[in-house]
Each structure stands twice: as structure tokens, then as C-alpha cells.
Amino acid sequence: MAQTFDICIRGAGVVGRALALLLARERLRVALVAPPAQGGGAPDVRAYALNAASRALLQSVRGWPDEQHATAVLRMEVAADQEGAVQFDAAEQGGEALAWIVDVPALEARLHDAVRFQPLVEVVDAPVPAPLTVVCEGRASRTRALFGAEFDVTPYGQTAVATRLVCELPHRQVARQWFAPDGSILAFLPLDGPGGNSVAVVWSVPHEQAPHWLDADEDSFTLALIEASRGALGQLRMSGPRASWPLQQARARHWCGRMPDGPGTWVLAGDAAHNVHPLAGQGLNLGLGDAQALARVLRTRQGWRPLSDLRPLRRYERERKAELLPAGLVMDGLQQLFARQETAFAALRNWGMSSFARSGPLKTWVARRAMGLDSARRA
């Protein structure tokens, strides 16, 4: 007899695999759609900044990497294009760390192993019928379009250029970010544990600059990064290839609906539902928040309601949109403010950053929200 499933998850990235493990814990039978892996390709240079809530979720499904691949951030330093600056310290906020910088290949490998040992999750190479289909295919999801979910996109006019660096000086578990007068934003994220001197780089630059920096020779590229980082970590050497992707803010208008070609319902999660600017490192945290909220809504639904019932899914949609609103507004506002190059805006943003650094309760509230401390307690 053919295997039957309660839920089909389309997309086997971090959010899709974490959700599959959460649902299997509720004794639901899950089909996880993962096309066959393609051999070769450049090494993955991405790294995620994950907060306490995301860490707790991944630990609960045995998907958290070891310390060498999940570096605790004890301090964050943000510098504007003039004298504006703000610092965050984990100890001041009463947390173990501001975030953990997690190596993407290591995280994906741990989740892959966790799924492999979960008998209620079956990895399939094509979608299968189920009462509920969850779309976790990422920002370029084809299924989202197939199901008729409109996706409103606001391009930022920037491209993220990512790579890995070995630095002359140790990072000391400090994440650093610099805003430049031309609107570009450079982030150095600490890697390789407490004593490491490697960083993951995300350099958000205007679209027209991206081809130059992707093709530049290593000396020119690292010299530009030394200048943009104001020499904070000394001499720099590339330890990985360069990758890039366009930046945007986006959100689906509707996150759930009836299947267009048969019984059952669908719902969106992760980047298939929303995209934000990476300047605050909240993208995957928000996606894992979707997974946790969806699993909770399905677990606590009234027992007589089938998995295909739209009422719990609409409750999930309302909850997540409300959670996303402040994060999206703040990140979009910061990006727009630093993208303006007029002198008046430069003075305003530097004054604003310095004022925020002295704001006391507001700074604490923002920091604890980004750290996911309240969410971790609810989990």
C-alpha cells in the first residue's frame, strides 16, 4: 500500500527541515520534498545570525551545530558614516550571547542527519498528496506562484556580496557593521569559535558596484574591505569564493488558501512568505519563528478540526504578520535612511544613531527583541 502523509513540505532548506522535525514530534507523518542534490558547485560561504529563540528550537530537534560552527557573539559594534555609533553587549542585556553566527553547511548537515533518523519524515523528490501543503521553497518559490499567492516585492537597489576572510587580528566574538556614505553596509560576522580569526562577510553595495567587486582581483577586493572596515581586524585574506544575491523587502499578500487542483490547503513559511534586508540578521530567525508558530497552531487546534482547516492557518498568518511588522518597518527604515546621500540625511542618521546609543530602555528593548529572549522563554 502506498505511503500516506498528513503534511507535505515543499522545500528542504533550514526552515523546511526544522518544521518537518517539529511536526514529526507531534506524531504527524511528513513528506519533505527535496530534489536530488547536484554535485560540484562552489563552497557555500553564507552564515546566519541566529538568536536565542532559534537556538532553542534547533536544539530541541537536535539540529544545532557544535561550538566550532556556532560562534557566540558577545558584543556588536555598529558605526555610521560620520561619528554616529552604537554598541550592544550581551552581558548588559542579561543574555548568554547577542546571537550565534552559524556556518550554513554545518547547520544543514546537522538537520539532514536529524531528518534521516526521524522515521515519521520521509524525503521525497516530488510533491505528494496531503491534507496540508507547506511551501518553504525560498524567495523564488515556483509553488507560491502556482498557487496564486501574490508576492509584493520592493527592490532595494543593492546586491549582497558574500565571502569568507581570514583576519590578521582575532575577532574576539564581536560582530561588526559599518554604514558608508554611498549607502553600502559591510558586516563582519565572527566564525570558528571563541578564539577564531575568520569572519563571514556580507557587503551590501549598490547594484552598479556589484559586478566590479565580484570580478575584482583578490588584492583589490581585500584592500577595499580593509578601507570599508576601517582596518578593525588588520590585514585580510580571502578564504572562500564570492557569492551574491539582490536585496529586497517582500511579503505575500495571502499566506494560505485552498489547493487549486484538488482537496487540501496550502500555507507559506520562511522566505516564501517574506523577505527582509539582512542588515539586522533577522531573516532566518523570522523563518524559524514561522515554523514554530505553525507547528504550535496545528498542535493546539481543536481535535475535531482536520489539518486542512483554514481557520488555524489564518490564525497563524495573522500572528506572524503582526510579529513581522515592527521588524520589517525598522529594517526598511534604516536601509532607506542610509541609502540617502544628501548632507542633511547624513547628519540626521548619525545624530539618530548616537541618540539611540544613549536611549537606555529603548536600546534594551530593541536588543532583547533581536536576541529572541522573550520568544525563547515562550518556546
Contact 71, 194 (CB under 8 A): yes
As a whole number of Å, the end-to-end CA separation of the chain is 38
Tell me what percent of the residues of the chain surpass a pLDDT of 90. 65
Write out pLDDT tens, residues 290-337: 999 999 999 998 877 899 999 999 999 999 998 887 654 455 555 555
pLDDT of residue 249: 85
CB 273 within 8 A of CB 255: yes
User: Under 8 Å CB-to-CB from 223, ≥6 apart: which residues?
Assistant: none
Q: Which residue has the cell 559599518?
A: 178
Which residue type occupies 67? Answer: E
Give CA 236 to chain center in angstroms. 26
- pLDDT exceeds cutoff 60 at 359: no
Residue 269 has what pLDDT?
97
Q: Are 138 and 272 in contact (CB under 8 A)?
A: yes
Digit-coded pLDDT (tens) for 123-144: 999 999 999 999 999 999 999 9
CA distance 175 to 244: 21
**pLDDT range class, residue 341, cuts 50, 70, 90:** low
Please list the residues that pair with 274 across neighbouring strands. 251
Question: What is the percent of the chain where pLDDT is above 70?
Answer: 82
The average pLDDT across 20-25 equals: 97
**Residue 325, pLDDT score:** 72
Q: Cα-flanking dihedrals φ and ψ of residue 26, to 5°?
A: -95, 15
- How many angstroms separate the most distant Cα atoms in the chain? 70
* pLDDT tens by residue, 229-253: 999 999 999 999 999 999 888 899 9
What does the alpha-carbon distance between residue 106 and residue 113 come to, in Å, rounded to a whole number? 11
Classify strands 151-167 and 198-206 as parallel, antiparallel or unpaired: antiparallel
Residue linked to cell 486542512: 308
Which grid coordinates belong to 258? 485552498
7-154+247-378 folds as: FAD/NAD(P)-binding domain (3.50.50)
Contacts of 112 (CB under 8 A, 6+ apart): 17
Structural contact between residues 78 and 89, judged by C-beta atoms closer than 8 angstroms: no
pTM over 0.75? The answer is yes
Q: Look at residues 254, 312, 46, 281 and name the one whose alpha carbon lies nearest to residue 176.
A: 281
Q: 372 near 285, Cβ under 8 Å? A: yes
Q: How far apart are CA 174 and CA 189, in angstroms?
A: 8
Nearest CA among 239, 165, 196, 162 for reference residue 72? 196
CA 47 to chain CA mean position, Å: 9
Take residue 38 and report the three cell numbers written for it: 547536484
Question: In terms of pLDDT, which residue wins out, 338 or 180?
Answer: 180
More confident residue, 349 or 226: 226
Parallel/antiparallel/unpaired status of strands 7-10 and 30-33: parallel
Confidence of residue 101 (pLDDT cuts 50, 70, 90): very high
Supply the pLDDT for residue 365: 43
Interacting residues of 334 by C-beta distance below 8 A, sequence separation 6+ = 277, 279, 280
> Distance between CA atoms of 59 and 200, rounded to whole angstroms?
23
